[in-house]
Structures are given as C-alpha cells and as structure tokens.
Amino acid sequence: MSDPITITNPGTGEKWTSGSRGKPPKWVSTHASYIAFKGLKATEAPVAPKVATVSDVMLKFWKLVGLEDCRCLCNCYVAAFSVNEALRLLAQTFKNPVTPRELTNMWKEIEPTEFMVQAVGVYELKDKTWQKR
C-alpha cells in the first residue's frame, strides 16, 4: 500500500487524507492530486447546467369553478405569474391551503376581462367590482 496523501480544498480549506473511512467527498475525486494518486484517467470537470430564462412575464388567471357535479357559488379568481405563486397566494388567503390537485380540479385558467384587476393577488366579486381578499 502506498503512503497516504493529504489534499486541501482550495475553496473552503477543508482537508482530506487518503486512507480515511468512507467515500471521499466529490471535490476530492475531481482534484488533480487524487487522480494522479489513484492512477485514474483524467476526466473533464463537470459543466454547470445552463439556467433557462423565462420570457413569459404575463400574468395568468385562475377562476374558481368548483367540482364538475357541484358548481361553487363563490366568484373569485387568483392572478399570478406561475402556478407555485398562485398556490402561495391562495394559502395566504384561505383558511385551508389549496393543494396543486385542487388547483387542477377546481380552478380553471381563464383569459382576463377588462374589468379584472391586472395585479398579483386573490380577488372576489363584491358589489359588481373585483376586490382583493
């Protein structure tokens, strides 16, 4: 068996010594000294995945329609940029948070009318005007 080596992570200063128990950390297995020590074939460093930019910045609107067999009398809608944001807004508004399954089954994505408020939030129809809940 060869002599143990000690490798230092340049980013954090953490040290690792060969022969220690367990699998070495990921930063050790890509370190040049470790590759030379093990006699492994050098591999390319992993490339960070590209971050996709979202170009759709329009608000989306979901209206509460209820279940198929029992229509809801409540007339409200949520305006948000994404499904996750809509779920967060609904959780802040209602006593029981709306689950993604409920959003799929009981809420319908709609096109807004000129009378609907064009801002993020949860709104309901009161006295023929949309008011924030």
Per DSSP (E only), the strands in 36-103 are 60-64, 76-80
Residue scoring higher pLDDT (99 or 56): 99
Q: Which two tokens stand for residue 43?
A: 């591999």
Provide the pLDDT for residue 113: 83
pTM, two decimals, is: 0.51
What average pLDDT score do residues 9-30 get? 80
Q: 49: pLDDT confidence band, cut at 50, 70 and 90?
A: low
Q: Which residues contact 87 (CB under 8 A, 6 or more apart)?
A: 97, 98, 99, 100, 103
* Contact present, 89 and 78 (Cβ < 8 Å): yes
Residues 77-120 pLDDT 10s: 899 988 889 999 988 888 888 888 888 888 888 888 888 888 88
* Contact present, 107 and 83 (Cβ < 8 Å): no
Residue scoring higher pLDDT (38 or 105): 105
